[in-house]
Structures are given as C-alpha cells and as structure tokens.
C-alpha cells in the first residue's frame, strides 16, 4: 500500500481530526528548532535524534506562514503570468512545509504517542484550511488559467506541458471554479472531512490495541506454533499479566491463531473482535463518522460538478468512470465466487469429518484451510517459516534488485532513525553512484498503525539541481522473541516484496518536478509496480536466492515449494472474494447520487446481499474498520489492487517469455517507473509492453481458466 500524505505544491494532506483539548507545547525558536534548520546530515536526511515532540507544532506554524507569503507573492505578481513565474513558482513553493510534513506524518503514522496525536488533531483543520486557501485562491487560479490558455507550448518540453495541464486540472478538481456560498461550503466540507478522517483512524487504532484474548489454560495453547506461544506470553507480560498468554488483533497474532487453534470458541472470540472493530457502540465507534463522510463526499462531488464521489475520483484514474470499474469487477466476481463456494464445501466437509457439530462459520475458515492443505497437499505453513526469516527475505529483495537493475544496498548505521527497530540503507547504482535512501521499519507495536505501507520523506526532483529521494517501508511483522528471530509466513514475505516494489518506484524516479515524481501516479496504476514484485518472489529461481533455513542455511526444498504453491492455490477463491467484496463495498458507498440514509451496518448488509456474498466470508475490510477508504486515501480506489493485478500479470508474462531475470527488459521496466506521473499510466505501460494489458494472464494465474 502506498500512503500519500501530501501533494507537492498543492499540499493536500490526508487529514487528522479536531479536538477541544489543545496539546501542551513549549515555545521553540526557529534557531533552536531542528525541523527549521538546514540539515547537516548524510544526504540531507531528517535529524530524528534531535527532533522532539515539542518541535513539530511551532515548525508547522512557521512553515505555514512562509508558504502563505510565497502564495501571496505568486498571486499578486504584477508581471504577466508565465510558465516560470506562476506554474514553476507554485511547484517549488512550500518547500519548508513539505519538509516538516514529510517528517511529522511519517513519524505520527509509525511511532505515534499522545502528544503527536494531539498535534495531528490540531493540525487537521489548519492544514485543510491552508490547502483550500491555495486551491481556491481566485487571483492565483486566474494566473494559472491564463498560462494554461495562452502559453506557447512549443517552448515547453513534454514534462513542462504535463505539469501545466496537471496543475490546472488539480485546481479545477479542487473547486477553483466554484463561486460564492458554494465555495464557503466546500471549505467547510474539506475541514470536516479532514477531522473525521483522523478520528476514524484513531478510533480504529484504539479498538485494535484495546482487544485481547487472554488465555490461562496451557491446554488451549499447546497446539499453537512455538513462536506464536512465545510472542503471546511476552505480550501477556507487557500487558501486566503475571501468567498466561495474550493474543491480539495484530495480524502476526490473529492470523496464525485462527489458522492453528483447535479451540473453536477462542477462534470465534478473536475473529469477532476483529470483525467488530469500530462497531461496538462505544467511544471508538466509527459508524456515525463514516456515514457522515460518505454524504459529505457526495455533496463535495456535486459542488464540483460530478454526480457521485466515484465519478469525481474515476475521472482522474486509468479506469475513467465508475461504470468501467463495475464492469471490470463483474467479469471476475462469478468465477471467484464459484471457486470460493467449492472451497467452502471442502472446508465444511472436513469440519464434519472431524466430528465437529454445528454450522461452518467465517471464524472456522482459516483453521480448516490449513487442515485441508495438510490433508491434500501435505503442507503446513509453519514448516516454511524457518525459510523466511525477515533479514533473509530482505536480502532476497536486495538480491533481486541487484540482478535485475544492478542496485546495491549499503546499511548506514550513521543515519538517525525515529525508532530503534528501523534500519536504513543507501541505495547505489552499479557504478557506485548514489540513488537514494530507504528506511525499513519491520515490527508491529502499539504506536504504529496497522498494515504495511510505503511513503516518501523526500520526493525526487530536478528543477535547479537533482534532489535524490528518501523513502520508507513500514510493516507489522512479528518481532523477534527470546527463542527465535522474526520468522515470516509466505504472505508476510510477499508483503515485504510488495512494499519494496513501491520503494523502488520512488527510488527510480527521474523527472524534473516533484509533483510528477515517483508514486505520484493514478491510484489504479500505483499498485502495479508493487504487485509485480510478488510475482518474482515466489519463482523457484528466485526463492533459491534467499529462502534459506535460518539455522541450517539449507535452501528451501523444491518439493516443499511445489507443495506450498499447490496449497496456496487452494484458497484463491476466498482471497479474491474477500478482497472483491470490499472493493464492491467501496464503490457502493461512493457511487450514491442521493444522500444515504441507511446506517452503516444496514448499508453493508444490503450491498453484500446484492452481490450474493456467502455468509462464511466477510469483506476484507468491513465498513467500520475500512481505513483504506475512510482514513487512507483509497476512496473509490480500493479496486486498484485488482486492476493493477491485470497489469502485473501481463507485465510478468513478458518476463516469462524472455527470462524472468532478463536485464534488458528490466531496464525498460525501470524506465517506465522512472517516468513517474510525467505521462499517463496507460501510455507508460504501452511504451513498456508494446500493447495494452490483457486480462487472460490474471485469469490463468488465479486458476479461473486453464
């Protein structure tokens, strides 16, 4: 997942909510605040070792004031508008604010605390207002429109023209043509959405952290993997229990528990805890928040001239409109659902054969998947974990990048980090020249939001001089225990390769303007480079490079790989249906053309009945914990992962035709990513592949066709 915290020049933040209680902060002068200083650090990385919680808010105040002045100068320039004095000036404005925000929002998402949460809450309406004051500035837009309509494009290169067109479009899409009371209302909506978005995320984090399944009977954990028991015992101690085991809703805890616990009642307890997050009618309930957000997004879309929020979003994506997305999803839904039903039958039969009475339920699914895999394919996921020790998987990413692109990764112990678990690597070309910096933050903790994501601390640009990128990868892997290092499941190893793919996208960037660099591409293109990496990681030729037993050094046996691949294919129907039902839910919320009066639970139930989702599967993200669309920037865009799967399957087919480690084709692939958003996504893809993507490779990959 790629989290977009801000857009260079426009400074549109995914915002965080308002509270009546303001944080207590000390005054820090600009001369003392490290966020406002020039950074005398390797490659200009942030001095995380010098930055304190109290530095952030004063730094934002200073940066906002400076950016406001810059905008006034551009908007009130008495000279005739030109590409340089208006478009480029706007693009390069806000450098200090971008710098401060690039630090704060990365730290706040990965290592938050009460003070940072309060800062984020106070900033949310401020940042929303600041963005509106730029995007809805009539004098500024008049200059932009003048350049857009009168500029001599023969004197501009292709990227200049792209910047001009994207800048104009961004202002129009933000409401620059909205007038009078509608403009005032648009500002109110933006501010309210910013606050609601953060509150949604904070509630979800609290719900996730507050849950615990506390077990005191050793018989109830005897069948669990040793590393999971050790982690649960350490968690119990951390939570103040003198004895017993605690299992949480963090994926490294809940997923293996659901897969391996023979105690059906405990499985249901933790499953329901996960499925009911934000839906417990308590202080962290998210129903009213998301219901208001959905209607506000519709109202905003109407003010901007669109019939729905989905139409507003789609007009800037490869899919173009909501109808195309629905048509695309419908092509895959029936074969995926039919496969899931076949899987359900096999799982229910296995449960019955085990002598378990009652109806097969959603909380039983993961456990019986493992039972069927063991029976049919002689496979147990736990036997593969020793081959996916996290540093070995990371080395696998590095080795693959070396073989494809000639890159090397040098760990830098001299670069400060925001948490002791972080590792930092300098990325080098084959000739030893510097490309950029990547921070890797691997392990779950209560101060970190859930899931895995990539982001930028500094985007690549080349206006006056070449600015190298600084990117981050963040995960929630099981931390090392007293007995063993962090051992990953196959899907967790996939996640590492996935986010690393996003990281490469940012690192490869080679454009002029920051707002067109790296991952600043349409939402339904941005997941493509990350998902391509997943194809490589499971190839036997690549597995041999890194999948080695952490104790013996033995390469993962070919027969185990064959069993693993066969076993993983078994649950494809479930994985696709679980994902697609969430994508349908996203589109349903945001395709409404009249205000929704249904409660969140009723709306979700109605939509799932409409697509005939079977009761043994719930959407990957139910409404009240659907962070992707209510606090993560993917509204009307969650379909993008599947859309990108079409691209990645088709692209990887090109590599299988010539050799999966073919360096000539890899160079073409890298050039596509290096172009960032300087060209439309489909144009970039066709330049690489020579044709538009076909859906058949994805259907074959998922087993829907032979």
Let me know if 534 is a catalytic residue: no
Contacts of 509 (CB under 8 A, 6+ apart): 459, 460, 469, 517, 518, 673, 674, 676
Return d(Cα 304, Cα 389) in angstroms, integer: 50
Other Cβ atoms less than 10 A from the Cβ of 78: the count is: 4
Yes or no: say if 511 and 460 are a contact pair by the CB < 8 Å rule.
yes
Alpha carbon dihedral 602, 603, 608, 612, in 10-degree steps, equals: 80
Question: Given 118, 499, 534, 578, which residue is catalytic?
Answer: 499
Eight-state DSSP code of residue 42: G
Return d(Cα 373, Cα 564) in angstroms, integer: 9
Q: Which two tokens stand for residue 514?
A: 């920051």
Q: Where are the alpha helices (DSSP H) in 76-214?
A: 89-92, 95-110, 114-135, 138-150, 158-174, 180-210
Residue 456's closest CA among 395, 517, 513? 517
Contacts of 201 (CB under 8 A, 6+ apart): 16, 449, 627, 630, 631, 632
Residue length of the chain = 706
Is the Cα dihedral 124, 126, 131, 132 positive or negative? positive
Residue 124's closest CA among 13, 6, 245? 13
Give me Rg for the CA atoms of the chain: 25
Contacts of 111 (CB under 8 A, 6+ apart): 418, 419, 445, 447, 448
Return d(Cα 477, Cα 490) in angstroms, integer: 12
Yes or no: say if 298 and 309 are a contact pair by the CB < 8 Å rule.
yes
What is the H or E stretch that residue 691 is in?
none
Yes or no: say if 267 and 258 are a contact pair by the CB < 8 Å rule.
yes
Alpha carbon dihedral 411, 414, 418, 424, in 10-degree steps, equals: -10
For residue 424, what are the β-bridge partners?
439
Residue 205's closest CA among 632, 640, 633, 639? 632
Residue 601's closest CA among 622, 579, 583? 622
The span from the first CA to the last CA of the chain, in angstroms, equals 30
Yes or no: say if 310 and 287 are a contact pair by the CB < 8 Å rule.
no
Is the Cα dihedral 541, 543, 544, 545 positive or negative? positive
| Residue numbers annotated as active site | 499
């Amino acid at each position: 997942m790629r989290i977009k915290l801000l857009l260079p020049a426009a400074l549109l933040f995914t915002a965080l909510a308002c509270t009546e209680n303001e944080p207590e902060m000390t005054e820090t002068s600009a001369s003392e605040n490290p966020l406002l200083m020039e950074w005398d650090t390797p490659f200009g990385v942030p001095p995380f070792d010098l930055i304190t919680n109290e530095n952030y808010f004063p730094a934002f105040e200073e940066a906002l004031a400076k950016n406001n002045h810059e905008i006034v100068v551009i908007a009130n320039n008495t000279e005739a508008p030109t590409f340089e004095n208006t478009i480029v000036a706007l693009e390069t404005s806000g450098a200090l604010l971008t710098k401060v925000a690039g630090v704060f929002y990365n730290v706040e998402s990965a290592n938050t605390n009460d003070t940072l949460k309060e800062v984020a809450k106070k900033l949310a309406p401020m940042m929303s207002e600041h963005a509106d004051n730029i995007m809805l500035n009539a004098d500024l837009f008049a200059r932009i429109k003048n350049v857009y309509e009168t500029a001599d494009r023969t004197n501009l290169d292709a990227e200049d023209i792209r910047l001009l067109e994207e800048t104009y479009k961004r202002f129009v899409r933000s409401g620059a043509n909205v007038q009078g009371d509608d403009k005032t209302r648009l500002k109110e909506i933006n501010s309210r959405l910013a606050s609601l978005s953060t509150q949604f995320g904070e509630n979800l984090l609290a719900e996730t952290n507050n849950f615990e399944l506390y077990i005191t009977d050793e018989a109830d954990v005897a069948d669990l993997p040793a590393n999971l028991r050790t982690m649960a015992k350490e968690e119990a101690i951390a939570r103040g229990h003198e004895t017993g085991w605690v299992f949480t809703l963090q994926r490294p805890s809940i997923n293996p528990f659901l897969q391996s616990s023979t105690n059906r009642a405990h499985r249901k307890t933790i499953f329901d805890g996960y499925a009911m997050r934000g839906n417990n009618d308590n202080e962290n309930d998210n129903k009213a928040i998301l219901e208001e957000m959905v209607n506000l997004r519709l109202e905003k879309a109407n003010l901007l001239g669109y019939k729905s929020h989905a139409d507003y979003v789609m007009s800037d994506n490869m899919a173009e409109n909501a109808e195309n997305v629905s048509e695309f999803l419908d092509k895959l839904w029936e074969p995926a659902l039919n496969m899931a039903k076949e899987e359900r039958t096999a799982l229910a039969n296995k449960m019955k054969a085990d002598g378990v009475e009652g109806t097969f339920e959603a909380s039983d699914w993961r456990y019986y998947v493992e039972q069927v895999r063991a029976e049919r394919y002689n496979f147990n996921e736990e036997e593969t974990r020793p081959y996916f020790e996290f540093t070995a998987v990371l080395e696998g990413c590095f080795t693959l990048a070396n073989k494809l692109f000639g890159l090397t990764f040098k760990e830098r112990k001299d670069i400060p980090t925001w948490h002791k678990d972080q590792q930092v690597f300098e990325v080098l070309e084959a000739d030893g020249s510097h490309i950029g910096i990547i921070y890797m933050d691997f392990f779950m903790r209560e101060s970190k939001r859930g899931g895995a994501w990539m982001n930028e601390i500094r985007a690549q640009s080349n206006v006056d001089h070449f600015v190298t990128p600084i990117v981050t990868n963040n995960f929630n892997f099981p931390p090392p225990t007293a007995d063993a290092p962090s051992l990953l499941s196959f899907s967790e190893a996939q996640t590492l390769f996935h986010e690393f793919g996003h990281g490469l996208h940012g690192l490869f960037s080679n454009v002029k303007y920051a707002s067109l660099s790296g991952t600043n591409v349409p939402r339904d293109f941005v997941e493509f480079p990350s998902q391509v990496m997943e194809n490589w990681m499971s190839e036997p030729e690549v597995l041999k490079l890194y999948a080695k037993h952490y104790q013996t050094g033995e390469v993962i046996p070919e027969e185990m790989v064959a069993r693993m691949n066969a076993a993983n294919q078994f649950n494809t129907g479930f994985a696709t249906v679980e994902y697609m039902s969430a994508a349908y839910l996203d589109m349903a919320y945001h395709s409404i053309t009249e205000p929704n009066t249904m409660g969140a639970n009723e709306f979700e139930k109605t939509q799932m009945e409409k697509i005939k989702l079977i009761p043994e599967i719930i959407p990957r993200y139910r409404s009240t914990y659907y962070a992707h669309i209510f606090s993560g920037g993917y509204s009307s865009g969650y379909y993008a992962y599947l859309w990108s799967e079409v691209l990645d399957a088709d692209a990887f087919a090109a590599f299988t035709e010539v050799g999966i480690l073919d360096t000539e084709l890899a160079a073409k692939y890298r050039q596509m990513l290096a172009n960032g958003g300087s060209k439309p996504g489909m144009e970039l893809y066709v330049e690489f592949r020579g044709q538009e993507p076909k859906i058949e490779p994805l259907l074959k990959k998922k087993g829907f066709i032979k």
